[in-house]
């Protein structure tokens, strides 16, 4: 179908909107990982790392779209281990899942035990190149899911590229507010890290041939996020009540002082 005729086809628009929404949903774990990985860098480098990380994800996904035949070949088994056929896609998912679990676990350890251990041993040095390398490794794993989803929904590569590009651009806009929110709310950061552990386990299970619907993981995360939102609202409400009580006490103290002087 000629490029201009795509705009007049309602089915193309439907697949485009559906794919864009799904790409944004599938990109949530990518944004969380990039935000947490970049948080280890000096503040001046964090935004640059997030933008470069998401730009790398965009380049990888478009490159993979133009290599659909290679993507299909990745799913072909090349060996069998304990009766389980193993493909290169399985290997990538297993390695990516293990790396994501390791990264999330070390971040959780740093959050929980970091202060006491930092007193005895200095924190490991984090470089800009090292963070970008970690992001690119996980981008490859997340891009496989993204591209396979795109190929399954849309029939035209132009639609796939447009949907993926818009989703990544929206994630670039949302990355900084998400990173700032996670950084300023430690309990939310722990929740995000637990989410990454779940995604890592899901990737590993997929690599071993056990398919877990990502919808279950996202539903659990939405529920936990709702609970966390209620906790944050309760904390803010308590803080307002406490500030109002302190203000009343301060006013009463001033009045008592004035009466004592008279």
Weakest mean pLDDT among 2-16, 34-48, 171-185, 224-238? 2-16
Answer whether residue 189 is part of any domain: yes
Answer whether residue 26 is part of any domain: yes
Mean per-residue pLDDT for 120-129?
65
Mean per-residue pLDDT for 116-129?
61
Answer whether residue 175 is part of any domain: yes
Answer whether residue 237 is part of any domain: no
Answer whether residue 251 is part of any domain: no
Domains identified in the chain, total number: 1
| Confidence category of residue 85, pLDDT binned at 50, 70, 90 | confident
Closest CA to 89 of 135, 144, 136: 144
Question: For the segment 206-232, what is each residue's pLDDT rounded down to a tens digit?
Answer: 888 887 777 777 788 788 888 888 888
- Determine the pLDDT at residue 83: 74
Question: For the segment 161-186, what is each residue's pLDDT rounded down to a tens digit?
Answer: 888 888 888 888 888 888 888 777 77
Answer whether residue 147 is part of any domain: yes
Answer whether residue 248 is part of any domain: no
- Determine the pLDDT at residue 261: 60
| Token couple for 50 | 């997030």
Closest CA to 164 of 33, 38, 2, 22: 22
Mean per-residue pLDDT for 248-256?
69
Answer whether residue 9 is part of any domain: yes
Mean per-residue pLDDT for 4-30?
74
Helices (H), the chain: 10-26, 28-38, 43-65, 68-74, 88-120, 128-153, 157-184, 186-207, 214-261
66, HSE (Cβ side, Cα atoms, 13 Å): 6
Residue 103 is part of which domain span? Answer: 3-212
């Amino acid at each position: 179908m000629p490029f201009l005729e795509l705009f007049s086809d309602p089915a193309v628009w439907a697949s485009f909107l559906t794919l864009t929404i799904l790409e944004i949903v599938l990109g949530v774990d990518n944004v969380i990982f990039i935000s947490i990985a970049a948080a280890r860098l000096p503040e001046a480098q964090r935004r640059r790392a997030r933008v470069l990380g998401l730009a790398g994800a965009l380049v990888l996904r478009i490159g993979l779209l133009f290599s659909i035949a290679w993507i299909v070949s990745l799913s072909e088994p090349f060996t069998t281990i304990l009766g389980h056929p193993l493909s290169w896609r399985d290997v990538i998912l297993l390695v990516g899942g293990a790396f994501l679990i390791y990264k999330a676990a070390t971040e959780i350890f740093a959050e929980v035990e970091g202060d006491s251990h930092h007193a005895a041993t200095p924190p490991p040095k984090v470089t800009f190149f090292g963070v970008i390398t970690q992001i690119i490794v996980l981008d490859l794993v997340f891009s496989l899911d993204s591209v396979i989803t795109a190929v399954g929904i849309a029939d035209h590569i132009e639609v796939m590229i447009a949907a993926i590009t818009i989703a990544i651009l929206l994630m670039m806009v949302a990355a900084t507010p998400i990173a700032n929110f996670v950084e300023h709310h430690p309990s939310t950061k722990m929740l995000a890290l637990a989410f990454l552990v779940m995604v890592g386990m899901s990737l590993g299970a997929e690599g071993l041939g056990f398919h877990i619907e990502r919808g279950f993981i996202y539903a659990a995360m939405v529920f936990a996020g709702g609970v966390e939102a209620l906790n944050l609202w309760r904390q803010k409400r308590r803080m307002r009540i406490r500030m109002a009580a302190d203000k009343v006490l301060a006013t009463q103290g001033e009045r008592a002082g004035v009466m004592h002087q008279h």
